Amino acid sequence: MGDIHQLFWPKSVAVIGASTKELSIGNRIIRNLQDFGYKGKIFAINPKGEEVRGLKPYASILEVEEDVELAHIVIPNKYTPMAVDDCGKKGVKMVIINSAGFKEVGGDGEELEKAIVEKAKEHGIRLFGPNCQGVINSDPQINAYCNFTFTKPTPGNISIVAQSGGVGEVINQRFSELGIGVRMYASNGNACDISINEVMEYWRDDDQTKVIVLYLEGLSDPDDFMRVAREVAARKPILGMKAGRTAEGAKAASSHTGGLAKEEMATELIMEKCGIVTFRDEEEMVQAAAAFATQPIPKGNRVGIITNTGGPAIIATDEFIEAGLEMPPLSDGARSKLKESLYSAASINNPIDVLATANATHFRAAVDTLMDEDQIDSVYINFVTPFFVDNESIARELVEVNKQQKKPIICNLMTDKKEWAGTINILTEGGIPCYSFPETAARSLVAMSRYNDLRSRDLGKVKTFDVDKAAAESILAQARESGRSNLSAAEVYGILDAYGIPVAPWKVVGSAQDAVSAAENIGYPVVVKADSEKIVHKSDVGGVAVNLVDADAVRSAVDGMQERFETDGLSFLVQKFMPGGKEVIVGAKSEGDLGHMLMFGMGGTLVELIKDVSWKVAPLSDHEAGEMMRSLKQYPVLEGYRGDEGVKVDAVLETIQRASQLVTDLPAIAEMDLNPVMAFPDGAHAVDARISI
């Protein structure tokens, strides 16, 4: 096991700052360890010599006669460096600092945090926290509750890691309320040393952890996170959620934990790239985790429904279909088997309606049929408990089939929880996740399917094109030297040329006369555009004149713009007019440490309005570029829709991938917009582009 094994399996725990005050952390942690049935030894460090919860007090950790494997430090922040030093002298290798008043408060706190990290390094101590709750391990062999909260999980297969203790605890509570077991829990606050990444890596090798629930507020080391998350998610499901979606939320996050909270979208995209199943709702994530904890992962997207009542099956069907799952009809063989074994009035399609009067034999026949049916990957059951059948025997049959763990079974159990407690017990003890609403049940199954998709997807390859990186870099350097953050048209098109992104033939000129000769070289018809750092949306202000067919038209367009924009340094972009293409947008946005997010969508001047766009994290593989494209609602328009020829999809894909290479090679680029790229049946050309650094 890895470096942090002792964090979850300490044979002895000392609490530095053990207190007789019931309402203090120094008391609560000891009480939690005792109440949870901790299997190791507890040492109370209390310099006042007061006995704490029946434990003999030690004036200092150095006075403890036996080895200490884990120490909690719960004393005021300014004394913590000394306490860490004492731990080092005592030979303690694992320390949880619950105390607050560090990086999250800035100033002196930040200095203190540096000091404890230094001290810990000197002694080879691993630090968890500070400003954190701690950890829990519910394995009956240890029962370690090294945490100051109050919810005592029953042993299970879900492990929770949360940057925010508040959110982590709510998730833990909800599992407890639902009667779902939790394996391990960790909330590391400021994370000055042991990271969430390391915790997940540790759980990768913990066989009892079947699913990891992750709550993030920011990513401090995105590269390491991606490496670890990819590796872990390939082995077991990670269900993830990131808060701070809105700019306001992100601000709250950074003042809350002092972590680096970037825009949620970027983190969410990174999670997705790693194969993490992402959620935007804690309850939905918790409910899904319950299914992951007990059920095998479906091998595909095809759901079979069994129901003994109509309405909820319709609701579930809507959920599945909307989420992109399938509900294929059953094979002839399956149908004839069902015809033999069910009531004659039963419906033997998918959904299979066994009827309200169905008994255990009927249910068993239906589930067995779906288990054997090749074109079905998972089973969803609506089970209403009618008073006129033996519900417990039905539950027992379902549990029997569930034992095979062949395909996932999810149950929407519609019942009176008091009246049918026996039936509920049989199902839940038999490991069938039961839900109170068809939507909740269906979404949990959808999440499992999403994980299967992520796990089995072909990631493809990141193509590397032969480009002139040096030329692009020197253009950027020039712009930086002259202190401009928005590049001129000549610079932008120069960079695109260096990266082999096809652009409409162009020339930047300063006068009407030069514009005419440029137009003659390019060939009519042409477009003239105002080129100035101050003009962003050119067509909004009359800075774009299209379809200019002769010298007169070019001259009057230039004259008109010169009058309209009396700005210094106005030049003109003369460009080939390329009408009739489909307008798409290729964009990129830097998210600092997180790298560049790439965007592809239907473009032109309506892009903000229609928002038919898709985002991914650079660098993009060929498959990801394809996924981005196919995920657009209007993708059929590009492919060819209703007799229209469509565009050369490969050319657009190549532009996306070249753009990805461009921003990855040139991290100084803050934003890039190729809008529009005109796509035609025989190629694609950018006709407008912006780059800012």
Chain residues that interact with ligand ADP, rule: CB under 6 A: 504, 527, 529, 537-539, 544, 546, 575-579, 583, 604-605, 676, 687-688
Site pattern 207..226 for Mg ion (x: CB under 5 A): --------------------
We find the least distance from the C-beta atom of residue 685 to ligand ADP, in angstroms, to be: 8
We find the least distance from the C-beta atom of residue 554 to ligand ADP, in angstroms, to be: 13
Using rule CB under 5 A, residue 531 touches Mg ion: no
Backbone dihedral region for residue 56 (phi beyond 0: left; psi -120 to 50: alpha; all else: beta): beta
State which residue, 335 or 484, has the beta carbon closest to ligand ADP.
484
State which residue, 280 or 537, has the beta carbon closest to ligand ADP.
537
State which residue, 319 or 583, has the beta carbon closest to ligand ADP.
583
SS3 state at 137 = strand
Choose the contact partner of 435 out of Mg ion, ligand ADP, none; CB within 5 to 8 A by kind.
none
State which residue, 475 or 687, has the beta carbon closest to Mg ion.
687
| Contact by Cβ (8 Å): 149, 142 | no
Query: Using CA atoms, how far apart are residues 53 and 38, in angstroms rounded to an integer?
Result: 14
Token readout for 74 is: 């719960």
Candidate residues 423, 675, 678, 679; the one interacting with Mg ion per rule CB under 5 A: 675
We find the least distance from the C-beta atom of residue 573 to Mg ion, in angstroms, to be: 12
State which residue, 397 or 673, has the beta carbon closest to Mg ion.
673
Q: How many residues bind Mg ion (CB under 5 A)?
A: 2
Choose the contact partner of 220 out of ligand ADP, Mg ion, none; CB within 5 to 8 A by kind.
none
We find the least distance from the C-beta atom of residue 526 to ligand ADP, in angstroms, to be: 8
State which residue, 179 or 525, has the beta carbon closest to ligand ADP.
525
We find the least distance from the C-beta atom of residue 603 to Mg ion, in angstroms, to be: 8
Choose the contact partner of 686 out of ligand ADP, Mg ion, none; CB within 5 to 8 A by kind.
none
CA dihedral over 24, 28, 30, 34, signed as positive or negative: positive
Interface region with Mg ion, contact rule CB under 5 A, candidates 126-134, 180-188, 524-532, 674-682: 674-682
State which residue, 181 or 505, has the beta carbon closest to ligand ADP.
505
Choose the contact partner of 527 out of Mg ion, ligand ADP, none; CB within 5 to 8 A by kind.
ligand ADP
Q: Which of 402, 406, 464, 455 is nearest to 428 (CA)?
A: 402
State which residue, 491 or 688, has the beta carbon closest to Mg ion.
688
Label each residue of 651-679 as H, E or C.
HHHHHHHHHHHHHHHCCCCCEEEEEEEEE
We find the least distance from the C-beta atom of residue 177 to Mg ion, in angstroms, to be: 53
We find the least distance from the C-beta atom of residue 534 to Mg ion, in angstroms, to be: 16
State which residue, 478 or 605, has the beta carbon closest to ligand ADP.
605
| Contact by Cβ (8 Å): 600, 588 | no
Query: Using CA atoms, how far apart are residues 267 and 567, in angstroms rounded to an integer?
Result: 41
Q: Exposure string (b/e) for 143-161, b if CB count within 10 Å is 16 or more?
A: bbbbbbbebbbeebbbbbb
We find the least distance from the C-beta atom of residue 689 to ligand ADP, in angstroms, to be: 9
SS3 state at 446 = helix
Choose the contact partner of 546 out of Mg ion, ligand ADP, none; CB within 5 to 8 A by kind.
ligand ADP
Burial of 659 (0-12, 13-18, 19+ CB in 10 A): buried
- The Cβ-side half-sphere exposure at 481, using a 13 Å CA radius, reads 6
Candidate residues 688, 689, 691, 693; the one interacting with Mg ion per rule CB under 5 A: 688
State which residue, 211 or 489, has the beta carbon closest to ligand ADP.
489
Helix (H) or strand (E) holding 443: helix 438-456
State which residue, 133 or 675, has the beta carbon closest to Mg ion.
675
Using rule CB under 5 A, residue 319 touches Mg ion: no
We find the least distance from the C-beta atom of residue 285 to Mg ion, in angstroms, to be: 39
State which residue, 258 or 604, has the beta carbon closest to ligand ADP.
604
Q: Which of 123, 45, 27, 41 is nearest to 84 (CA)?
A: 123
State which residue, 12 or 539, has the beta carbon closest to ligand ADP.
539
Choose the contact partner of 583 out of Mg ion, ligand ADP, none; CB within 5 to 8 A by kind.
ligand ADP
- Residue 402: which residues within 8 A CB-CB, separation 6 or more? 409, 430, 431, 432
Q: What is the 8-class DSSP label of residue 349?
A: S
We find the least distance from the C-beta atom of residue 675 to Mg ion, in angstroms, to be: 4
Site pattern 122..161 for Mg ion (x: CB under 5 A): ----------------------------------------
φ, ψ at 117 (rounded to 5°): -65, -45
Burial of 496 (0-12, 13-18, 19+ CB in 10 A): buried
We find the least distance from the C-beta atom of residue 548 to ligand ADP, in angstroms, to be: 10
We find the least distance from the C-beta atom of residue 584 to Mg ion, in angstroms, to be: 11
Q: Which of 378, 381, 370, 308 is nearest to 333 (CA)?
A: 370
What residues from 256 to 315 belong to the interface with Mg ion (CB under 5 A)? none
Choose the contact partner of 26 out of Mg ion, ligand ADP, none; CB within 5 to 8 A by kind.
none
SS3 state at 634 = coil
We find the least distance from the C-beta atom of residue 680 to ligand ADP, in angstroms, to be: 11
We find the least distance from the C-beta atom of residue 546 to Mg ion, in angstroms, to be: 12
Residue nearest to Mg ion (CB): 688
Choose the contact partner of 134 out of Mg ion, ligand ADP, none; CB within 5 to 8 A by kind.
none
Q: In what order do the strands lie in the sheet with 158-162?
A: 144-147, 134-137, 182-187, 158-162, 211-216, 238-242, 277-279
- The DSSP-derived string for 324-338 is T-B-PPPPHHHHHHH
Choose the contact partner of 504 out of ligand ADP, Mg ion, none; CB within 5 to 8 A by kind.
ligand ADP
Using rule CB under 5 A, residue 583 touches Mg ion: no
State which residue, 153 or 604, has the beta carbon closest to ligand ADP.
604
Choose the contact partner of 544 out of Mg ion, ligand ADP, none; CB within 5 to 8 A by kind.
ligand ADP
Query: Using CA atoms, how far apart are residues 246 and 197, in angstroms rounded to an integer?
Result: 24
| Contact by Cβ (8 Å): 127, 24 | no
Neighbour count for residue 329 (Cβ, 10 Å): 10
First-last CA distance in the chain:
45
- Residue 298: which residues within 8 A CB-CB, separation 6 or more? 377, 378, 407, 408, 445, 448, 449, 452
Binding site for Mg ion (CB under 5 A): 675, 688
